[in-house]
Structure 1
Amino acid sequence: QVSDEAKYEADEACQWERGTFPYALGRSQPIAMQVLDVETYVDSGKGYDRTNVKLYGITRDGVSVCCVVTDYFPYFYFQTAQRNLSNILAGAIRRVGAGGQNLSSEVIDILVHLKIVRGQQLYYYRGTEEKQMFVKVSGTQLTLNKAKHVGTLFAANIDADVKFMAHTGIVGYGWVGVPVAKGNVVSAGRMTSRCQMEVTFNYKDLIVHSTDGEWADIAPLRTLSFDIECLGRRGVFPDPSNDPVIQISNMVKLQGKSEPFIRNCFVLGTCAGVVGSHIIECKSETELLEKWADFIRRVDPDIITGYNILNFDLPYIMERAKVLRLPKVAELGRQRNRACSVRDQSLSSKQKGSFENKVIDIHGRVIFDVLQLVQRDYKLRSYALNSVTYHFFSEQKEEVEHSSIPDLHNGDNQRRRRLAVYCMRDAILPLRLLDKLMSIVTYVEMARVTGVPLNFLLTRGQQIKILSMMIRRCRKEEFFLPVIDVTGDGQSYEGATVIDPLCGFYNEPIATFNFSAFYPFIMIAHNLCYTTLMKGAVGEEGVDYTRTSSGKYFCTKEKRKGLLPLSKYDLLAARNNAKNDLKKENDEFKKMVYNGRQLALKVLANSVYGFTGSTVGKLPCLEISSS
């Protein structure tokens, strides 16, 4: 016999899951999917290494999809003189033997393929627009690694995910058409992911949509916010090697909705009910963690959020799972039989100095830690959740001292109820903050503008944004990005002068100068770019070149229009378009989208200056930043 409580929990679990699958398996039309995460990996299933790409996304109906994209080969370039081409190609022919005839596709797949392409190096203006000879080397990752001894390389040190997205035109949180008719819809019993649908297809069949018009909207993303409570010892901060997890609260809401549609709390022991929420009582910590992990897999969230979950809640749960030998608890991502990975990341900034963060990969989902978001984007006196809540909402949550948690947990079910209410408030507040600050919409638009996955924006800093933009522009204009040996030799540039204010009370109006897009317009006006940089003065100043105040030379736009000025002009024009769309739009949600887009474009346009001045970046150019 099944108890009433068990029946209730079974019914509740059904409500956690996504809706029914609305697509016919024989569907001929592509399915529109918004790309949430991208993962490049090596598949050794056929006896040799093969590079595949997984795209995780959500349809307009809220269906989760995993796309396995095949037949994409990583690549890099090297430059060669024209006289060497015949020898290079002859060597390639000798490798495949008899021109590649009578060889199986499996053998051809593991070889390095060579192709002659034309373009120009990114650095320096050479007085001519003539294209130079480059050899494109593509193949499996293993063969590419063996081929990297050929000389000066181009595009060889770019992140594989970013390179694939630039190659196909995909942008973070952009829409694509999944070609189900040309691909293979994987049956439920053979799926490697936990998504509702899994499709395998050739990357050339992928349909990429723009981010304008009907493709400017955002799919009904599921955002899950959670918080944990631990039974620590008095006067000692909770230690995952000893102290158990006693409660985990969860709130789940859909993008665009104001209230969560799931409110629950997993509690160790009995607990009095909470109006409007579901209390799941557990007899042991093992049961609590296993039920919570199953809850995550059933809800299938797209975004996981909370307050300080990257450096506390998630690592704590992962460590407790190790201590209790519960490997399934760590399987929170969208891949079956694959645990989340946790690693330390050393970071530094002028504002915070050197510090360490945890980086957690929950494949197919985005971790959006509200604490790190607020620390990155706002200057506050205190970043405690209570202080942040008061700053943005002028209200304070009920505070429970950590020292009183053991008494509440060890008390009766009413006292555990008080702790559960406190825990659930800590889970709802991050959702309220995300809505108040429009964080998800703003970061989605930044991902679209820069072309990178959203999790890159949260973990990788400013460099990856500009690099992605440069890769796309260079691909369009046939320029090749060199691999630069970064030595960090101590060279630097002097940044902008900031004049100290004369503080005090003034009873007369104070006139100020506010330059619109100051740095971008300097770079546009003086044509500052990698492609316009000159090694010395050639020709007539003002006609053929410009000499900057730092003594650097750049050719005039009449000789060549730089990629950076062109990119900045496009960014500023796109920002003006977004601001105009914002003024015309009546729909409140679309207003948020356009506002997020114009803010993202503003940040990106102003970030190029710092990108060129980073001596440890992918494309340093102090000649630009110092000018």
Structure 2
Amino acid sequence: MEKRSSTGDSPLSKKIKPTRSVGRPQLENIDPAKDTLIFQELELDHYIGVPYPGMPGAQSGPVPVIRCFGVTKKGNSVCCHIHGFSPYFYINLPDSFVEADCEPFKNKLNTVVVADIRGNKDNITDAVLAVEIVEGKSLVEYSGEENSKFAKITVALPKFVPAAKRLLENQIIYQPLGAHSFTFFESNVDIEMRFMIDAKIMGCCWLELPAGKWFKRNSLSSQFSITSRCQLEVDVSWENFIAHSPEEENWSDVAQFRIHSFDIECAGRKGVFPEPQIDPIIQIANVVKLHGEEDVVVRNVFTLNTCAPIGHAEVKCFSKETDMLQAWAQFVRKLILIFLQDITSTISIFLTFWIEQNI
């Protein structure tokens, strides 16, 4: 790989030190049994994992795990695995349905949902976890002042929500209900949104994991090992953390996020969408800042072949496109950051597709 670097001298740009350290602060020793962990969440998703011993929710088979990324006040990155939360939805019920019907109805519904699993390679036996009667009002139609009767149906995996809905629509699952016409409520709510609502999590709020309620992951564990590039990776029950509202006193500040902005240029043909086999990426420009600071931590440009000096930016030149992209990927990994970039989807898709095809 041929790489050449240069630094421009334009007086119009703020002076920076291209060699300034971009690493996060060193993680201090923290004991889950004695120390409370507090971080500001930035991104939240879910994956299908295995039950964590001692956590609520299904105790066998695959289970959904909420994964939350964030940063502490000192700037340390955190990946938090939140266990025990299960998806659910509601259906309307006739007045004849009583508490004694919940268990047999759950068993019947579970039987047909399990039978509907194609292949069932995970040997799932408990697809429907619970059925309970709740009272409330539908927002769709006016029903007076009295509450209506609904069933809250909790399932083991998000994919069982549409499956259970389809089966209830097309089959008579529970004979005492006969051909009752079900109306479904909140069956299209994503598990991430459902979790945030139930846990009272607002976007970018602070999460507090009390001492003695969370567990620290390490590389020695075979089943719950470290899976991210974050400095600290932990596990907690969804019932054992506190989500602080920004309206609360002392919880409206912002962590020292690392913000990485980048722009990608390719040698496209006029009027033709770039293709990775034909149109090379010729330049990737990067700026890294810490939230709350004016100074730029990193300002560099990865370029194919050469270019003129750029004011107070470090220019990294490469003779091959693959070398440039691999070096840029290594640069991104080194930052160990959570991306907050604003990039057009066409360029993003192009870059992703190129990397998948060529690296």
Secondary structure in 2 matching 1:214:
coil
Offset of 1:114 from its aligned partner?
1.2
Q: Which has the higher contact order (CA 8 A, sep 6+)?
A: 2
What's 2:171 paired with?
none
**Which one-letter code corresponds to 1:89 in the other structure?**
E
Bigger radius of gyration? 1
Question: Structure 2-normalised TM-score?
Answer: 0.74
In the superposition, relative to structure 1, how do residues 180 and 263 fare at CA in structure 2: closer, same or farther (>3 Å)? farther
Cα distance in 1 for residues equivalent to 2:32 and 2:101: 50
What's 1:89 paired with?
103
Offset of 1:181 from its aligned partner?
2.9
What's 2:139 paired with?
122
1:217 matches 2:253 = yes
Secondary structure in 1 matching 2:340:
strand
1:29 matches 2:46 = no
In the superposition, relative to structure 1, how do residues 197 and 14 fare at CA in structure 2: closer, same or farther (>3 Å)? farther
Match of 1:19 among 3, 18, 25: 25
In the superposition, relative to structure 1, how do residues 236 and 182 fare at CA in structure 2: closer, same or farther (>3 Å)? closer
**Which one-letter code corresponds to 1:158 in the other structure?**
V
Offset of 1:160 from its aligned partner?
2.0
What's 2:356 paired with?
322
Offset of 1:282 from its aligned partner?
2.5
Deviations 1:400-445 (A, max 9, x none): xxxxxxxxxxxxxxxxxxxxxxxxxxxxxxxxxxxxxxxxxxxxxx
Q: 1:111-260 counterparts in 2 under 5 A?
A: 111-128=128-145, 130-141=146-157, 142-148=159-165, 149-150=167-168, 151-179=182-210, 181-188=212-219, 190-212=225-247, 213-232=249-268, 238-260=274-296
Secondary structure in 1 matching 2:293:
coil
Secondary structure in 1 matching 2:234:
strand
Cα distance in 1 for residues equivalent to 2:332 and 2:211: 28
The answer for unaligned runs of 5 or more in structure 2 is: 6-17, 52-58, 111-122, 169-181
Aligned length: 306
Cα distance in 1 for residues equivalent to 2:31 and 2:315: 38
Offset of 1:52 from its aligned partner?
1.4
Secondary structure in 2 matching 1:305:
coil
In the superposition, relative to structure 1, how do residues 236 and 133 fare at CA in structure 2: closer, same or farther (>3 Å)? closer
Q: Is the 8 A contact 2:102 2:132 kept in 1?
A: no
What's 2:314 paired with?
278
Identity within the alignment, %:
30
Secondary structure in 2 matching 1:290:
helix
**Which one-letter code corresponds to 1:231 in the other structure?**
A
Cα distance in 2 for residues equivalent to 1:282 and 1:25: 45
Q: Is the 8 A contact 1:179 1:201 kept in 2?
A: no
Deviations 1:130-183 (A, max 9, x none): 333221110212544443244211111112211111011001111111346322
In the superposition, relative to structure 1, how do residues 78 and 233 fare at CA in structure 2: closer, same or farther (>3 Å)? closer
**Which one-letter code corresponds to 2:214 in the other structure?**
G
Hey, which of these two has a bigger chunk of strand by percent? 2
Secondary structure in 2 matching 1:297:
helix
The answer for unaligned runs of 5 or more in structure 1 is: 7-11, 97-105, 327-627
Offset of 1:193 from its aligned partner?
1.4
Q: Is the 8 A contact 2:20 2:297 kept in 1?
A: no
Cα distance in 2 for residues equivalent to 1:267 and 1:95: 59
Q: 1:139-538 counterparts in 2 under 5 A?
A: 139-141=155-157, 142-148=159-165, 149-150=167-168, 151-179=182-210, 181-188=212-219, 190-212=225-247, 213-232=249-268, 238-269=274-305, 274=310, 276-306=312-342, 309-323=343-357, 325-326=358-359
Cα distance in 2 for residues equivalent to 1:184 and 1:14: 34
Question: Structure 1-normalised TM-score?
Answer: 0.44
Match of 2:64 among 51, 63, 72: 51
What's 1:79 paired with?
92
In the superposition, relative to structure 1, how do residues 117 and 265 fare at CA in structure 2: closer, same or farther (>3 Å)? same
Cα distance in 2 for residues equivalent to 1:266 and 1:139: 49
Secondary structure in 1 matching 2:316:
strand
Cα distance in 1 for residues equivalent to 2:269 and 2:103: 70
Deviations 1:258-300 (A, max 9, x none): 2311111112335676553322232321111011112112213
**Which one-letter code corresponds to 1:310 in the other structure?**
T
Cα distance in 1 for residues equivalent to 2:184 and 2:310: 62
Hey, which of these two has a bigger chunk of helix by percent? 1
Q: Is the 8 A contact 1:112 1:144 kept in 2?
A: no
Deviations 1:355-384 (A, max 9, x none): xxxxxxxxxxxxxxxxxxxxxxxxxxxxxx
What's 1:460 paired with?
none
Secondary structure in 2 matching 1:261:
strand
Secondary structure in 2 matching 1:121:
coil
Offset of 1:252 from its aligned partner?
0.6
Question: Which 10-residue stretch deviates more, 24-33 or 165-174?
Answer: 24-33
Q: Is the 8 A contact 1:48 1:110 kept in 2?
A: no
In the superposition, relative to structure 1, how do residues 263 and 245 fare at CA in structure 2: closer, same or farther (>3 Å)? same
Offset of 1:44 from its aligned partner?
5.8
